[in-house]
């Protein structure tokens, strides 16, 4: 799964990377401890143009009466995304790219949760596969929301967690966004062996209120 991540790259670098038009109300960066329900920046493709704008991380199905009317859906399992009522329409029609610098997972040592920071081994930005939804509340309020697609982890990642975000390569972005027709389902795999690097970081990040560059600094042990 992916329950926390960091995004440290400037918005102008992201819009150049994706060749996307930026919104005016992007969430601030850098952020070292992004949590579900917080706003994040994502890329969608609509009307022949890529757009880089804010969404709530935590997918809100159409039938929710309020954003908290049911479970918090911040991840979508690749194995069931095409059938699950919450996600199946979005998986066909509303896919997005979610940039990140890295994400966190935890192991346990006794009762202590030990955080790990995971990045691409080649030091390039991570781009998660995502799905999104425009939810309209009973009083007309609209909220754009999204979830990160996850896959079963390979042997390396499975030492930390059984799930891993689907990380897309640049040559896969257009297909995932629907710009190159059908076939996006074949992209929903775990990163290959050696694609990810793992570093133990301090337990300060265990608090969802913690913030700052020290959260991603590797430690010994």
Tokens 């102008």 map to which residue? 12
pLDDT digits (tens, 9 = 90+) for 116-170: 999 999 999 999 999 999 999 777 789 999 999 999 999 999 999 999 999 999 9
Two tokens, residue 91 = 């998986």
| pLDDT tens string 164-198 | 999 999 999 999 999 998 999 999 999 999 999 99
Q: What is the pLDDT of residue 220?
A: 75
Q: Phi and psi at residue 186, in whole multiples of 5°?
A: -70, -10
Domain limits for position 163:
5-103+127-194
CA 83 to CA 72: how far, in whole Å?
18
157 assigned to some structural domain: yes
Residue 61 resides in a domain: yes
Number of H helices and E strands in the chain, helices first, is: 4, 13
Q: Does any domain span residue 161?
A: yes
Specify the number of domains making up the chain: 1
Structure confidence at residue 49 (pLDDT): 96
Q: Do the bridges between strand 39-46 and strand 112-120 make them parallel or antiparallel, or are there none, so unpaired?
A: unpaired
Which one, of 83, 85, 82, 92, lies nearest residue 71 by Cα?
85
- Report whether the peptide linkage leading into residue 30 is cis, meaning its omega lies within 30 degrees of zero: yes
110 within domain boundaries = no
Q: Confidence class of residue 201 from pLDDT cuts 50, 70 and 90?
A: very high
Give me the pLDDT at residue 110, please.
86
Residue 176: inside a domain, yes or no?
yes
86 against 110, higher pLDDT: 86
Give catalytic residue positions: 2, 105
Distance CA 114, CA 202 (A): 8
On whether residue 186 sits in a domain, the answer given is yes
Q: Considering the domain boundaries, does residue 119 fall inside one? A: no
The predicted model scores a pTM of 0.96
Domain-located, residue 179: yes
**Phi and psi, residue 194, nearest 5°:** 85, -5
CATH number, position 82: 3.90.1680.10
Whole-number pLDDT of residue 138? 76
Mean pLDDT over 4-32 rounds to 97
Cis peptide before 184 (omega within 30 of 0): no
Whether 221 has a pLDDT exceeding 80, the answer reads no
């Amino acid at each position: 799964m992916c329950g926390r991540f960091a995004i440290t790259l400037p918005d102008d670098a992201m819009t150049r990377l994706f060749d996307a038009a930026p919104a005016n109300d992007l969430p601030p960066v850098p952020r070292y401890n992004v949590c579900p329900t917080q706003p994040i920046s994502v890329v969608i493709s609509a009307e022949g143009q890529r757009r880089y704008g804010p969404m709530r991380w935590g997918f809100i199905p159409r039938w929710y009466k309020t954003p908290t009317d049911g479970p918090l859906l911040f991840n979508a399992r690749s194995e069931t995304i095409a059938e699950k009522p919450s996600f199946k329409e979005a998986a066909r029609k509303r896919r997005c790219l979610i940039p990140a610098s890295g994400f966190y997972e935890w192991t346990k040592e006794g009762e202590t949760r030990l955080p790990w920071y995971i990045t691409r081994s080649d030091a390039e930005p991570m781009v998660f596969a995502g799905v999104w939804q425009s939810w309209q509340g009973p009083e007309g309020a609209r909220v754009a929301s999204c979830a990160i697609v996850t896959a079963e982890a390979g042997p390396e990642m499975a030492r930390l967690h059984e799930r891993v975000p689907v990380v897309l390569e640049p040559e896969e972005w257009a297909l995932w966004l629907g710009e190159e027709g059908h076939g996006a389902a074949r992209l929903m795999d775990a990163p290959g062996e050696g694609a990810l690097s793992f570093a133990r970081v301090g337990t300060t990040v265990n608090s969802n209120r913690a913030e700052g560059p020290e959260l991603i600094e590797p430690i010994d042990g």
